[in-house]
Structure 1
């Protein structure tokens, strides 16, 4: 659908990305369309799966989740069944904020958010290391977040 997005669709997405609770009237005013066509475009973008949902952005520090670690995961088996087993299992760990399959010397890169280093150590030992086919992990602790954007 990317090639079907015109300047109004892209404008809608830019605004909603940072202000998901904006009224349709205000959104329409900002992008230069009337309310009805703006709402129709939003519905089309939702039905096409371009807009996958709406939600609040929470401050992880105020939520008690200030510790961020990036974890390289190397698997002992990278056949499709092993990858699928890992993929399913990692989705059940709430501390894993992001999981990416990587083309590198390791197989996955995880972003893990916990309250502190002791909590991270528990998650690593009890959850991450117990994931299917994990051969090894390597942790990189973030000292400061310089830029985080919703998309």
Structure 2
């Protein structure tokens, strides 16, 4: 699948939507410097092209009573990796599974829990699947920020 050719308006729109997907079209239009009709059309095109794949809500797990974050590093047989990843994702407390293209330590699992008993129960659930738990860590803090499409676009334009 070919990459969608983003222009400056698309990049700015994507940056703003990553900050807050609940922006009103009129606010987006003002921030980007185009009409709200242009914003609607651009969002529709970006959705149809698969660039925008959905809109999500960010939840503060701590405030929701799930203050323990764990990272499990696991190994699944390469032939079973994708299926095992789906089984892991079916566990409600799992918030992310990353499959790596490697033979060992090829599944990384992030999950949230309320207390130590939850972690023990969840570790047992993982242990019952077709994988080996190689490492388990309590996460102190995670930092994350959305991709800056405007800045990345400027860098790509300079390279051309």
Q: TM-score, normalised by structure 1?
A: 0.86
Aligned equivalent of 1:94? 92
Q: Is the 8 A contact 1:20 1:54 kept in 2?
A: yes
* 3-state SS of 1:144 partner: coil
1:7 Cα deviation (Å)? 0.9
Aligned equivalent of 1:141? 138
Q: What is the total number of aligned residue pairs between the two structures?
A: 145
Question: Could you list the runs of 5+ residues in structure 1 that have no partner in the other structure?
Answer: none
Alignment root-mean-square deviation, CA: 1.7
1:148 Cα deviation (Å)? 2.8
Q: TM-score, normalised by structure 2?
A: 0.82
Task: Give structure 1 regions of 4+ aligned residues with deviation exceeding 4 angstroms.
Answer: none
Q: Is the 8 A contact 1:129 1:137 kept in 2?
A: no
Instruction: Provide the rounded CA distance (Å) in 1 between the counterparts of 2:66 and 2:50.
Output: 30
Q: 1:109 to 1:53 in 2, by over 3 A?
A: same
Question: Could you list the runs of 5+ residues in structure 2 that have no partner in the other structure?
Answer: 148-160
Q: Which structure 2 residues correspond to residues 25-104 of structure 1 after superposition, within 5 A?
A: 25-75=26-76, 77-79=77-79, 82-103=80-101
